[in-house]
Structure 1
Amino acid sequence: MVLYGTLVNGALIVVGSLLGLFFTKIPERYKETIMHGIGLSVLLIGLQMAFSTEIIIVVLLSLLTGAIIGEFIHLEEGLNRLGAWIGSKITTKNENFSVAQGFVTASLIFVIGALSIIGALDSGIRGDHEILITKGVIDGFVALVLTTTLGFGVILSVVPVVLYQGAIALLATQIEKWIPETFLNGMIVELTAVGGLLILAIGLNLLKVVQIRVGNLLPSIVTVGFIYYIYQLF
């Protein structure tokens, strides 16, 4: 089953989030320190991924073009509105912002990254779900901790995770017919680096060092493919 790894990943996020709901009443100082720990861990993950780049100009141009597109279409505002709209259906008005914040933050952490893409490709191309199941275990623990500080909105992140990884897995069943393996491997390296920088930005936001509109940088995940293709032509 092509979507097996994706569904397991989603289920583990739900389980982790539900467990986290039982710990939301812990004192604020514990939540603050836990969030700092998550932020530092996210920074480390982002740095490790970002340093994988072999062509820095591709990463730079991908972020620049992605930022222009994201700001033009106000992508982050749209994500926040979506989170708030979902929150309005299940919470009181005063809790909507918290739900939106949890939804957007968790979605970005779980969706952006090499494991999402490589794992989904493995599921689609080779029928190997080990990477996505491993990612699911990690995501489940992260969801548990995030839910203790960001609340119910974290569990809603399962929707974009399943849609995103599922779409890649289904596409991957045919991708080898369209894209040479050498090109695909090189693009994944640069995609990993771009994703790492976005994860790094999420970590900085969690630590409140700076407030980066990460949502408006998301198009760089798409533009990196086009930039890498143009680079290879020359």
Structure 2
Amino acid sequence: MGTIVNVATVSVGALLGIVLGNRMPERTKETITSVLGLFTLVIGGLSVVSLTSEALTEAVGSAAMIVVLISLLVGALIGSALRIEDRLEQGATWLRGRFAGTGSEARFVDGLVTSTLVFCVGPLAFLGSISDGLGRGAEQLYVKAVLDGFAAMAFASTLGWGVLASAGAVAVIQGSLTAVGYFAGDVLTAAQVDALTAAGGVILLGLGLRLLNVKQIPVGDLLPALFLAPALVPLAALFQG
């Protein structure tokens, strides 16, 4: 139920944002996007703090930062080689064909890519979905659903229909993680989750800079780091041992 509720709040929030967006002056829209960018930086910073968690420190000692750094660097190489950012944009461009007359292509792509990353890259998306799949309750996803609903409203007021399309990505990604939790049980240790959270925090920092128009970092190409960070923790632990 957690993902279902999350998809519903994103959809409703996006539709409200689209309706209200037409009545908002451009200056207000830009300010809202800037606030979201700043808040994304805050969320990213809080996630990066997981680098100093007790579980991760016990597992890899002082190598926690190296684990996350290597995962991001190698992830960037893999993501660039696979052209993940470009493929996300190509997929969004194809989807835009279903929404005739809703705005420019770039605006739709930004709405889909940006909101999908904000909604799906973070500790609540991962931990909440796994917890829901394990039968431990969906409270984390319910909290995330409320946050995402308001964020979707703000995003859609400036970025339009692409934000609504991101509800499908939330359904697929979080639904898949819930299935992993259901069929595979506890997949990752606490240290691995902390490493993933820290890597996701760095990606969110890049996304915040992108929203603030400081630097257009291709954050989509960094997504493989989310898989590499947990995988590197046992390797680093071996060297520590």
CA shift, 1:93, in A, is 9.0
AA aligned opposite 2:14: S
Query: CA 1:114–1:175 in 2, change beyond 3 Å: closer, same or farther?
Result: same
Question: Does the alignment pair 1:38 with 2:43?
Answer: no
For 1:9, the equivalent position in structure 2 comes to 6
AA aligned opposite 1:217: L
The aligned runs of 1:125-140 (5 Å cut-off) are: 125-140=134-149
Say whether the 8 Å CA contact 2:4–2:171 is kept in structure 1. yes
AA aligned opposite 2:69: L
What are structure 2's unaligned runs of at least 5 residues? Answer: 53-63
Question: Does the alignment pair 1:112 with 2:112?
Answer: no
Question: Does the alignment pair 1:156 with 2:173?
Answer: no
CA shift, 1:92, in A, is 4.0
Secondary structure, counterpart of 2:72 in structure 1:
helix
CA shift, 1:95, in A, is 2.1
Secondary structure, counterpart of 1:52 in structure 2:
helix
- The count of corresponding residues between Structure 1 and Structure 2 is 227
AA aligned opposite 1:146: F
Secondary structure, counterpart of 1:89 in structure 2:
coil
AA aligned opposite 2:145: G
% identity of equivalent residues: 37
Q: Distance in 2 between matches of 1:197 and 1:213?
A: 13
Q: Distance in 2 between matches of 1:116 and 1:129?
A: 11
Secondary structure, counterpart of 1:160 in structure 2:
helix
Q: Distance in 1 between matches of 2:25 and 2:103?
A: 20
The aligned runs of 1:213-228 (5 Å cut-off) are: 213-228=218-233
Q: Distance in 1 between matches of 2:138 and 2:31?
A: 34
Q: Distance in 2 between matches of 1:231 and 1:143?
A: 38
CA shift, 1:195, in A, is 0.5
Secondary structure, counterpart of 2:150 in structure 1:
helix
Say whether the 8 Å CA contact 1:88–1:96 is kept in structure 2. no
CA shift, 1:121, in A, is 1.1
TM-score with structure 1 length normalisation?
0.93
AA aligned opposite 1:28: E
CA deviations 1:98-157 (Å, max 9, x no partner) are 111100000000000000011011101134011101100000000000001111100111
Q: Distance in 2 between matches of 1:144 and 1:41?
A: 15
Q: Distance in 2 between matches of 1:115 and 1:91?
A: 34
TM-score with structure 2 length normalisation?
0.90
CA shift, 1:94, in A, is 6.0
From 69, 81, 87, the equivalent of 2:96 is 87
Question: Does the alignment pair 1:204 with 2:209?
Answer: yes
Say whether the 8 Å CA contact 1:103–1:156 is kept in structure 2. yes
For 2:61, the equivalent position in structure 1 comes to none
Q: Distance in 1 between matches of 2:237 and 2:149?
A: 38
For 1:23, the equivalent position in structure 2 comes to 20
Q: Distance in 2 between matches of 1:129 and 1:94?
A: 36
Q: Distance in 2 between matches of 1:185 and 1:94?
A: 44
RMSD: 1.4
AA aligned opposite 1:82: G
CA deviations 1:158-185 (Å, max 9, x no partner) are 11111111111111123337x5xxx521
Q: Distance in 2 between matches of 1:215 and 1:49?
A: 18
Say whether the 8 Å CA contact 1:121–1:168 is kept in structure 2. yes
What are structure 1's unaligned runs of at least 5 residues? Answer: none
